[in-house]
Amino acid sequence: PVNICQEIVGTKEGQVSGTLRAKIVKQIVSALCVNTMYPCEHYLSAAKDLVSRYPQLKDKSRTHCASWHASIKHRARNIRRRMPAGVNEVDTRKAQAKAHRERRAALPCNQQCRPKNAVRNVFPAASRGTGEDEASVQGQVDLMKKEMKKTVWDQKKVQDAMNRTYKARRAWLNTENLTVAVVTDRYPALARAQEIQQEFRRQTGRDAQEGLAAFLERSTKALYELFRMKSSSKQKAKQILEAAENCPEEGKTLLANGALTLLPCLLKERSNNLVPCHRSRAPST
């Protein structure tokens, strides 16, 4: 609709209001559900098309559209849940799901709790500095420091330097008792959230952001029970829960983001100590 397009055009990146988001998601789901109430294979492509057409709607996820994908999926699912009997497609799926639950309930206890097969994105191991001597490592460190002093620094150069110095860096970290200040002074890239995620990927071959998102989704209920028990997070947790209840389409996203903000309270830390909100110089790509 023209009115929604006008609102989007006037929106700055990262400042999408909850009302506008709800309008957009509602329109997308309505369009997807014209021919079927289960357009599941189109959720992701719709989210990608949206941020491709309107870049100001990009989120901070790796795909730039993860929150939109989740919102579209959740709204479609909520519509089906609230739908009264009479739509054959939905009634059939609900009956199948009910029959499946009943079959599982009839199984012996030791067969009811089989974990679902976990799907993990495994990334190829990065170059870890094979053959780099001490002088070469120091040269890479100096190059990285010099590059990151620039207003717009070359991300590829910095990542290459971090890859080449990986082995030496891990040995240094494992053999000495170092403070964060000392580590980031020698490797300033590790003060950046993006490079911290890259370091995690170098060590594990997995994406930290995806793992964190899965943890938050899996543990939301337990986390909020803990938040409500702590005086430092009780009030904020209550506000987030109320907001999620008032906006069911965005409920899961609100709860996950809120949990990430409140997690430091369980460690007797302030949220802004562990979730910095400052601006930093941007890398060139």
Q: Is the dihedral of CA 48, 54, 55, 61 positive or negative?
A: negative
Is 124's pLDDT higher than 50?
no
Mean pLDDT lowest for which of 73-87, 169-183, 218-232, 255-269?
255-269
User: Do 37 and 89 form a contact (C-beta atoms < 8 A)?
Assistant: yes
Q: How confident is the model at residue 111 (pLDDT cuts 50, 70, 90)?
A: low
Most confident of 36-40, 190-194, 196-200, 229-233: 36-40
Q: What is the mean pLDDT of the chain?
A: 80
Q: How confident is the model at residue 131 (pLDDT cuts 50, 70, 90)?
A: low
Determine how many CB atoms are found less than 10 A away from the CB of residue 222.
10
Domain boundaries along the sequence of the chain: 4-84, 134-204, 208-273
Is 13's pLDDT higher than 90?
no
Nearest to 264 by CA among 225, 230, 221: 230
Is 28's pLDDT higher than 90?
yes
120 backbone φψ class: left, alpha, beta (φ>0; ψ -120 to 50): beta
Is 106's pLDDT higher than 90?
no
Tell me, what's the pLDDT at 32? 93
Q: At CA 195, angle to CA 141 and CA 58, rounded to 5? A: 145
264: burial class by Cβ within 10 Å (0-12, 13-18, 19+)? middle
The full DSSP string for 125-191 is: PPP--TT--HHHHHHHHHHHHHHHTSSSEEHHHHHHHHHHTHHHHHHHHHHS---HHHHHHH-GGGG
Question: For the residues 79-87, what does the mean pLDDT come to?
Answer: 88
Is 123's pLDDT higher than 70?
no
Question: For the residues 174-200, what does the mean pLDDT come to?
Answer: 85
Is 269's pLDDT higher than 60?
no
Q: How confident is the model at residue 61 (pLDDT cuts 50, 70, 90)?
A: confident
Whole-angstrom distance, CA of residue 206 vs CA of residue 200: 7
Question: For the residues 115-131, what does the mean pLDDT come to?
Answer: 44
Most confident of 162-171, 211-220, 265-274: 162-171
pLDDT, greater one: 190 or 212: 190
Nearest to 87 by CA among 35, 46, 42, 41: 35
Question: For the residues 82-91, what does the mean pLDDT come to?
Answer: 89
Q: How confident is the model at residue 132 (pLDDT cuts 50, 70, 90)?
A: low
